[in-house]
Chains A and B, each alone.
Chain A
Amino acid sequence: MARFLITRFSGMAFVLLVVSFLTFALMYNVPGGPFDQNKQPLSEAAMANIKRKYGLDQPFYVQWGRYVVNAVQGDFGTSYVAEGDKIVTLFGKYWGASLIFGALSLAWSIPLGLILGVWAAIKRNTLIDYVVTLISVVGITVPVFALGIFGLYLFSIRWKLLPYTGWDLVNEPLTAVLPVIIFGLLPLGTIARYTRAGMLEVLAQDYVRTARAKGLTFKVVVLKHALRNALIPILTVIGPFIPNALTGSAILERMFNIPGVGRYFIDSIQARDYPVIMATVLIVAVLWGITYLLTDLLYTVADPRIRIDGSKS
């Protein structure tokens, strides 16, 4: 176990190093660079001063090396735009909305996806099954901005049931309804689909028939015997949705005016706010790494036959 964790964490450190290098290399080539003269022309001496202050006069690899050394010590620098503000503080500000947005979306879609999947599998080839399949297909295939536009048009403009964009959980909680529903449709559809398929496969197994034959009720068999076994492959499906949701959706945040990290990231690229871009990419990468690790560990809990090194005994 210790060896497994050490290998995985060193792998993750390597990935982060390369990711930071790639991002740095790209950022370095964003046309214009930070502090260009468009907004307020500065004297040459002032420009040189600013560049020296942020280390921008150094060669590219030196800047990158310095960034990595500082980042390892927990110092992600300060924003160029919101001058003097620590990146950590800024992220606290913008990440909050994205975190709540993502968490709310998963909070309804994961359980409902599981329920719908099980329900559709039990009632195979009935109306319920078809409706669940339809929801799955729409949620999985239709891009999120298309769902967003449909939702906005129907619920906010046509029927005037919900407010038109905005994000104010405290004073106007109704503003959250539409984006949270739309953001949850992809996880809902995917989880329902895989749960249905997994349940159908498990329900056809001999041990399920045996359990029924020895007199257990259908409910007990489905919930205790079948679902637990069907859950294992579903874990891998649910895993990636968590970092995905928690890092916000640039598209929905823009569409619904949610002050989240996805929108902040795009604004930061436009403003060439290097430290913010770096921090966002790295945080997403870390979240993904942790998710994969946790999924692999959960696997061994859900199915004791799977060993930690990935092989099946």
Chain B
Amino acid sequence: MTSSIPTKAANAKVVIGKPLSPARLALRRFSRNRLGLIGTVIVALFVLCAIFAPIISPHDYQNTSAINAYKAPGESPEYLLGTDESGRDVLSRLIWGARTSLIVSLAAQAIMLVLGLVLGFSAGWFGGWIDFVVNRLIEVFVALPALLFRILVVIVLGGGITNLILAISLLAWPELARLVRAQVLGYRGREFVEASHALGSSTTEIALRHVLPNILNPLIVAITFSIPSVIILESSLSFLGYGINEPTPSWGKMVGGAANYIQSYWHLGILPTICLSIVMIGFSFFGDAVRDALDPRSAQKAP
């Protein structure tokens, strides 16, 4: 007996090597995902464009000039991707459009996250009538027609970026709340939580120190998928004319404005569409890779 145990341990050491932290393992899984890397590059480019828009855009996005209107891409070296109906540089507006999308999606995401965490956590943790109320609220918000009701909200509040963020986020939190609630329910009765409770920790303390770290991974996964869906909402509302106001550029609005004369000036509608599509596909690859890295069990199960 004395001889067999050390041998086993020694063998294990040779095979496994130095144990890696979960974060390192996740990073390794992530970097092995080729599509995920492509997605990461696309998302990184999108974010960089958004951050450095004032520096990299060749023109002011709102500079109009009637003589330069409707230039096709490549027609003039000064306007690489052409100009729109008021002679504004399309390339600059595309770059600034990335910024608009990112601002809206991050701000809306932050509001959704706070609402989802607070409501989902209270429902799962306290149960009883709080759980009942939150669940009914979720049912109500899920039943509202997603796009049509947001149009109504935008019309009531008025257009503009702040109201758009509110219209998107105030109706989109139920998904996160549901996730948080389900996760918290799973942890409520666990020994480490009860132990902490017995030691006199307050609810807030338990929530922040013990439960939140445990639900972080599914939360991160949910957020990586939620950001592109917010971008879709922003661009769809802007496309219909109930989103971003002039002169702020938004890809959806650019497409919406150009849809009527796409027969004569294809680039005004097609270029923002291409940008949006590439960014969406990039986010999808990125999100899949993040999920597979953080939750290896789902890698075999989920698509």
| Residues of A participating in the B interface, judged by any CB pair closer than 8 Å | 11, 14-16, 18-19, 22-23, 26-27, 29-31, 136-138, 140-146, 149-150, 152-153, 157, 164, 193-194, 196-197, 201, 247, 250-251, 254-255, 262, 265-266, 269-270, 277, 280-281, 284-285, 288-289
Contacts and interface: CB of A to CB of B under 8 A. Distances in A.
Contact of A201 (B136, B145, B281, B301): B301
Nearest to A21: B140
Nearest to B137: A18
B284 interface: yes
Given A19-B143, A149-B270, A281 B236 contact: no
A157 B262 contact: yes
A16 B284 CA distance: 34
A219 B104 CA distance: 49
B303 A197 contact: yes
B105 interface: no
Contacts of A138: 277, 281
Contacts of B144: 19, 22, 281, 284-285
A150 B149 CA distance: 27
Contacts of A251: 147, 236, 239-240
Nearest to A25: B156
Interface in B161-184: none
Given A18-B140, A22-B140, A262 B148 contact: yes
Contacts of A193: 303
Contacts of B149: 23, 281
Given A153-B262, A197-B303, A269-B155, A142 B281 contact: yes
Nearest to A154: B270
Contacts, number: 130
Contact of B269 (A30, A149, A281): A149
Nearest to B136: A14
Contact of A157 (B236, B263, B281): B263
B113 interface: no
B107 interface: no
B81 interface: no
Given A288-B143, A289-B143, A277 B152 contact: yes
B148 A281 contact: yes
A266 B240 CA distance: 9
Given A14-B136, A285-B144, A26 B277 contact: no
B143 A145 contact: no
A247 B145 contact: yes
A266 B151 contact: yes
A145 B228 contact: no
**Which of B149, B240, B262, B285 has the most C-beta atoms of chain A within 10 angstroms of its own C-beta?**
B149
Contact of B276 (A15, A146, A284): A146
Contacts of A288: 142-143
B232 A143 contact: yes
B100 interface: no
Nearest to A143: B232
A104 to B, nearest CB: 20
Question: Main SS of the interface on chain B?
Answer: helix
7 contacts: A22-B144, A26-B153, A30-B155, A137-B284, A142-B277, A197-B301, A262-B148
A281 B266 contact: no
B82 to A, nearest CB: 15
Nearest to B288: A137
B123 interface: no
Interface in B197-250: 228, 232, 235-236, 239-240
Contacts of B301: 197, 201
A241 to B, nearest CB: 13
Given A141-B277, A153-B266, 9 more contacts: A19-B144, A141-B283, A144-B236, A152-B262, A194-B303, A197-B303, A250-B147, A250-B148, A251-B239
Nearest to B154: A269
B259 interface: yes
- Chain A to chain B: the 6 pairs with minimum beta-carbon distance, closest first: A197-B303, A285-B143, A284-B145, A141-B280, A141-B284, A193-B303
Contacts of B270: 149-150, 153
B302 interface: yes
A238 B155 CA distance: 32
B119 interface: no
A250 B281 contact: no
A143 B235 contact: yes
B156 A30 contact: yes
A30 B280 CA distance: 33
A265 B262 contact: no
Contacts of A270: 155
Given A143-B276, A157-B262, A254 B136 contact: no
B143 A15 contact: yes
Given A15-B143, A288-B142, A269 B283 contact: no
A142 B280 contact: yes
Interface string B28-48: 000000000000000000000
B139 to A, nearest CB: 5
A56 B283 CA distance: 48
A99 to B, nearest CB: 16
A281 to B, nearest CB: 6
B57 interface: no
A15 to B, nearest CB: 5
B252 interface: yes
Given A149-B259, A149-B273, A280-B148, A15 B139 contact: yes
